[in-house]
């Protein structure tokens, strides 16, 4: 099945609808919805990107994240990704913030990553095509590891954790 996404300008305005494949091939700016799941202890659930993935394999990432499909808004995509990647339904509690990818060649800011917070204690059903592992981290543990080993984490996640004061 062909997936369609919005190609957006540097202000997140839609330019055109393209296939996901075309967006990557043409290095288009796209929209990404991300979610951080916290439990009742305020620990944050992260997923380790599958080693089957081409990009960021083995790095810790958001609880769930993915492209915003054409015709979708960020919150709808975030909740869809939660269902697809973790098998849960939840309600968005708050908007955390925005992170932008940096193009490795041009060094310009690119795609938009909007992150949201939900609370859920599990159980979770891990999509093994997306992640090899999930686990909760305490705020203190995340603060320590992100400072000593930032290379273990996706850059966008680090930016969102920074917005959260971690």
Q: What is the pLDDT along the chain (166 residues), one digit of tens a residue?
A: 899 999 999 999 999 999 999 998 898 999 999 999 999 999 999 999 999 988 889 999 999 999 999 999 999 999 999 999 999 999 999 999 999 987 766 777 788 999 999 999 999 999 999 899 999 999 999 999 999 999 999 999 999 999 999 9
Cα separation, 45 vs 122, in Å, equals 10
Tokens 């995340």 correspond to what residue? 142
Cα separation, 115 vs 57, in Å, equals 20
Cα separation, 137 vs 26, in Å, equals 36
Give residue 105's pLDDT: 66
DSSP states of 139-161 as a string?
Answer: HHHHHHHHHH-GGGB-HHHHHHH
Cα separation, 147 vs 143, in Å, equals 6
Give residue 41's pLDDT: 97
pTM above 0.85, yes or no: yes
List beta partners, residue 45: 37, 136
Give residue 104's pLDDT: 66
């Amino acid at each position: 099945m062909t997936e369609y996404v919005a190609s957006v300008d540097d202000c997140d305005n839609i330019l055109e609808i393209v296939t996901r494949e075309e967006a990557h091939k043409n290095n288009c700016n796209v929209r990404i919805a991300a979610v951080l799941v916290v439990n009742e202890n305020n620990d944050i659930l992260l997923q380790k990107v599958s080693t089957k993935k081409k990009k960021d394999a083995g790095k810790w990432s958001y609880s769930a994240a993915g492209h915003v499909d054409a015709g979708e808004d960020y919150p709808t995509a975030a909740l869809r990704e939660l269902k697809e990647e973790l098998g849960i339904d939840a309600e968005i509690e708050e908007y955390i913030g925005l992170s932008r990818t940096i193009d490795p060649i041009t060094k310009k800011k690119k795609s938009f990553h909007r992150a949201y917070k939900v609370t859920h204690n599990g159980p979770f059903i891990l999509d093994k095509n997306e992640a090899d592992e999930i686990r909760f981290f305490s705020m203190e543990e995340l603060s320590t590891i992100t400072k000593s080993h930032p290379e273990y984490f996706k850059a966008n996640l680090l930016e969102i954790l920074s917005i959260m004061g971690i």
